[in-house]
Amino acid sequence: MSQTEFNDPLWRQGISGAQMLFVAFGALVLMPLITGMDPNVALFTAGIGTLLFQLVTKRQVPVFLASSFAFIAPILAAKGEFGLPAVMGGVIAAGLVYILLSALVKLRGPNFIDRLLPPVVIAPVIISIGLALSPVAVNMAMGKAGDGSVELVPYSTAMMISMPALITTLLVAVLGRGIFRLVPILAGIAVGCAIAAVLGVIDTSAVSQASWLAVPNFIAPELHWGAILYMVPVALAPAIEHIGGVVAIGNVTGKNFVKQPGLHRTLLGDGLATSAAGLFGGPPNTTYAEVTGAVMLTKSYNPKIMTWAAVFAIALAFIGKFGVALQSIPVPVMGGILCLLFGSIAVVGLNTLIRHQVDLSEARNLIIVSVTLVFGIGGMVIGGKEFALSGISLCAISALLLNLVLPGGAGWRKRDAEEA
């Protein structure tokens, strides 16, 4: 069934590649728009990252890499304190965490990560990422800046834009059929922008002034330990999501990618893609569940299709008017959609606890989850101005340390070994 795709002509591969980029596009550009990055740079680094991933994995895994939502909170925090160039240094360091995990998996085997980062550690961190970002989504939906400091659009107008955008996203996700079910974000953006245009909220003057061809606004990274401390601990959560993504695409294609090309290669590819993104001024990369869904729906198992998707992303990055048009998307449109997306991140964490049957009546598990959630959502800060841990970074490190220090961890490892 899957082999027929490998013999497809180039034109069909190209069309399938464009379709994959279309599916990933909404989430791909939304993340840099929230964090104040250039969406054209995000397109470029998504393309470069996917090509690097394919190079490392010998073009065996049909995945597309693009902007990771898990890093939004630390990027916003680090950007406000240290500036965007320092954030890019942190993104490079986050990629090195993947590379380190890749080396450990190569030396110790794939089960090593399950022992180091069990569900009781990762789940509350993922929940914290989603819930800590919820005020940003609500503020944007009400027409304010992400931190609520400035009103950008009047409240009544903002709600008339954000709620239809949210409802459209919900309806398409639930009621959509075929490929349309995989693009609820794009549908929400389209409806939201249409309403915003009717209400006179969209300013297109910058689009008309922009040139058709333009080099993306690349940013050179800077080394700042404070920004690195914000970014590095958060890399643990998407690393676990990466493993889930590799297993999921393996289930779809009927292949075991954890063994061939190997989890160490996929982690290495993801790490190199993220570090490369930091070098150019783009957001960290991760595998996309939407693309996995599209692969399952279209049975496009040929990894060469993702090469085409990457090439199209790089080409779009150099269309100046396209990037400026994306930056003109009104804040309420993004806010309405983010009310769903950020909640979905938290639900992924809850589902992790449920799926792995983590017993929260056990004191050890209760302590790890409780402290992690309060530190992450409450915004606890430990340290001074130069070396400070706070929010998601602090809760990730706290969860990891509590898991290592508190007695009783052997019980989970024993049960995990029995299930395996």
Asked whether the predicted pLDDT for residue 312 surpasses 60, the reply is yes
Q: Tens of pLDDT along 112-126?
A: 777 778 889 888 988
Rounded to whole angstroms, the Cα distance separating 102 from 331 reads 38
**Percent of the chain topping pLDDT 70:** 93
Instruction: Write the pLDDT tens digit of every residue in 239-269.
Output: 877 887 888 788 778 888 888 888 899 999 9
Q: Which of 20-24, 85-89, 301-305, 341-345 has the lowest mean pLDDT?
A: 20-24
What does 277-312 look like in DSSP terms, one character per residue?
Answer: HHHHT-PPEEE-HHHHHHHHHHT---THHHHHHHHH
- The predicted pLDDT at position 3 comes to 41
Is pLDDT at 152 greater than 60 in this prediction? yes
Give the pair of three-digit tokens for residue 117: 């980062």
Which residue bears the tokens 């990466």? 242
Predicted local confidence at residue 409, as pLDDT: 63
Query: For all residues of the chain together, what is the average pLDDT?
Result: 85
Q: How many CB atoms lie within 10 A of CB 142?
A: 21
Report residue 399 CA to chain centroid gap: 21
Does residue 163 surpass a pLDDT of 90?
yes
- Which of 39, 133, 37 has its CA nearest to residue 83? 37
CA distances from 54 to 64, 147, 246, 267, 313 (A): 9, 38, 13, 12, 15
Which residue reads 């009103």 in tokens?
151
The domain segmentation of the chain, as residue ranges, is 3-163+218-330+338-419
The DSSP code sequence of 146-213 is TTSSSB-S-HHHHHHHHHHHHHHHHHHHHH--GGGGG-HHHHHHHHHHHHHHHTT----HHHHHS-SB
Q: What is the pLDDT of residues 14-23, one digit of tens each?
A: 888 887 887 7
> Do 152 and 139 touch, CB atoms closer than 8 A?
no
pLDDT of 195 above 70? yes
Angstrom distance (rounded) from CA 285 to CA 101? 16
